[in-house]
Amino acid sequence: MADLSKAVKISIQIQENKEKLESLPYKVREIESELQDFQQSYQSKKELFDQEETQKQTLIRKLEEERQAFVEKEQRLNSIKTQKEFQAVSREISNLKNSLKDDEASLETLKTKLEDLNAELSPLGEKLQNLQAQQQEEQGKIANDLQEVETNIENLEKELQETLAALPQEIQQKYHRIAAVCQPPAALVVEGTCQECFIQLPPQLFIELQRKTEIIACPSCRRLLYIDSIDPE
């Protein structure tokens, strides 16, 4: 009974470690998914910022050309000799003034928009760096945890085999057969109740179990039954 009890406790520890082993990669995928979503959001805003910045630089160059043309045409007015040419250049100057006014207004609008976008991007960029650092840190931790859990499972499985080896061959075979179907393959009985399926055992069966002369299976869940003088951990 003591060996069977010990085997059950080891099996439970193995199962817990295997579940932990399965859950650890999920944490990495969860962080990667959050980082990917955030990167897409950041990149979308960054592309918009870059487009607006390119438009701003194009507009600045255009304004420089218009101002230069404005100065040249005003200087040209002093050398014009005919009224017709004077009127034509004056119209060009007037058009340039309007264009300069419109482009300067557009430039101010772009500057304001860029300032707003930059105000959004700055904290997003910091958060992105923090998430990337967190991802690297978590991946390092998880890699260490994976190695630790795998080592635990290896040691526990070795201990389980040694414990089972002390049991009769028939019990070992039953144990492995049940283990392939459900975990744990044996169940503690407390006050006549199976602690895995919680069925109340027939009185005669419970009496036979207390005699500890043979290993009995639960009539409900089919796990091997045992009574432990010490409560399981």
Q: Are strands 186-190 and 224-226 parallel, antiparallel or unpaired?
A: parallel
Q: Is residue 114 part of a domain?
A: yes
Q: Is residue 56 part of a domain?
A: yes
**Which tokens in the block code for residue 42?**
């950041």
Q: Pick the range with the lowest mean pLDDT from 84-98, 145-159, 164-178, 185-199.
A: 164-178
Q: What is the pLDDT of residue 230?
A: 42
Of residues 98 and 133, more confidence is placed in 98
**Which tokens in the block code for residue 166?**
């002390």
According to the per-residue pLDDT averaged within each range, which of 24-28, 57-61, 78-82 is highest?
Answer: 57-61
Q: What is the pLDDT of residue 231?
A: 41
pLDDT at 155 over 60: yes
Could you say which of 123, 157, 191 is where a domain stops? 157
Domain tally for the chain? 2
Of residues 231 and 43, more confidence is placed in 43
Whole domain around residue 107: which residue ranges?
10-157
180 shares its domain with 211:
yes
Q: What is the pLDDT of residue 1?
A: 56
98-116 pLDDT, tens digit per residue, is: 999 999 999 999 999 999 9
74-86 pLDDT, tens digit per residue, is: 888 888 888 898 9
Q: What is the pLDDT of residue 142?
A: 82
Dist CA 179 CA 177 (whole Å): 5
Q: Domain with 102 in it: what CATH number?
A: 1.10.287.1490
- Tell me what the pLDDT averaged over the chain comes to: 87
19 shares its domain with 110:
yes
32 shares its domain with 141:
yes
Q: Is residue 86 part of a domain?
A: yes
202 shares its domain with 107:
no
DSSP notation for 23-77: HHHHHHHHHHHHHHHHHHHHHHHHHHHHHHHHHHHHHHHHHHHHHHHHHHHHHHH
Q: Is residue 153 part of a domain?
A: yes
Could you say which of 132, 157, 182 is where a domain stops? 157
Q: What is the pLDDT of residue 66?
A: 93
Could you say which of 130, 157, 184 is where a domain stops? 157
117 shares its domain with 138:
yes
152 shares its domain with 45:
yes
Q: Is residue 162 part of a domain?
A: no
Q: What is the pLDDT of residue 133?
A: 86
Please give the average per-residue pLDDT across 13-22, as a whole number.
Answer: 85
Please give the average per-residue pLDDT across 184-192, as a whole number.
Answer: 90
pLDDT at 130 over 60: yes
66 shares its domain with 177:
no
